[in-house]
Amino acid sequence: MNKSGTLEFGFCKVTMVNADHSSSCGMHNGLLHDGGNAAGFVIRFPSGVTVYHSGDTGIFGDMALIDELYKPSHLLLTIGGKFTMGPEEAAYACAKMFKHARVVIPMHFGTFPLLPGTFEDFKRCID
């Protein structure tokens, strides 16, 4: 599978889409190796529910293209900040790029101190 590729699983279709993020893997010897290109996923169910999992990403203009093509009804968006988009960027993406979404689930925040975004900040930005 690669970006724009789709796998059919019978109970759903999964399409790999672009994300905007760096990636590296720390090795036991202290060296860093390229972790590959960042990606998100669109998961389409026969019921009509379509989930966009943003993966680790910053905000980028082609999120509007993801909305136009796949019309996700549910969004899993990072709000942690520092390494990914934060609450303000995620709220902007919801307001300006994802016109079809009915459910937004903030993710990738609060797991350690370097991810300062909070649900309260996201909610404040989205209101």
The reported pLDDT for the residue numbered 22 is 87
Q: What are phi and psi of 73, to 5 degrees?
A: -90, -20
Residue 19 within a domain:
no
Residue 73 within a domain:
yes
Residue 36 within a domain:
no
CA-to-CA distance for 66 and 42, rounded, in angstroms?
Answer: 8
The reported pLDDT for the residue numbered 56 is 92
Residue 9 within a domain:
no
Q: What is the CATH number of the domain that holds 108?
A: 3.60.15.10
Handedness of CA 74, 76, 81, 87 (dihedral sign): positive
Residue 33 within a domain:
no
Residue 42 has pLDDT above 80, yes or no: yes
Task: Read off the pLDDT of residues 1-21 as tens digits, 9 standing for 90 and up.
Answer: 899 999 999 999 999 999 999
Q: Would you place residue 35 in the very low, low, confident or very high pLDDT band (cuts 50, 70, 90)?
A: confident
| Domain range enclosing 108 | 48-126
The count of structural domains within the chain is 1
Residue 26 within a domain:
no
Give the mean model confidence (pLDDT) for residues 39-55: 97
Residue 13 within a domain:
no
Task: Read off the pLDDT of residues 49-93 as tens digits, 9 standing for 90 and up.
Answer: 999 999 999 999 999 999 999 999 999 999 999 999 999 999 999
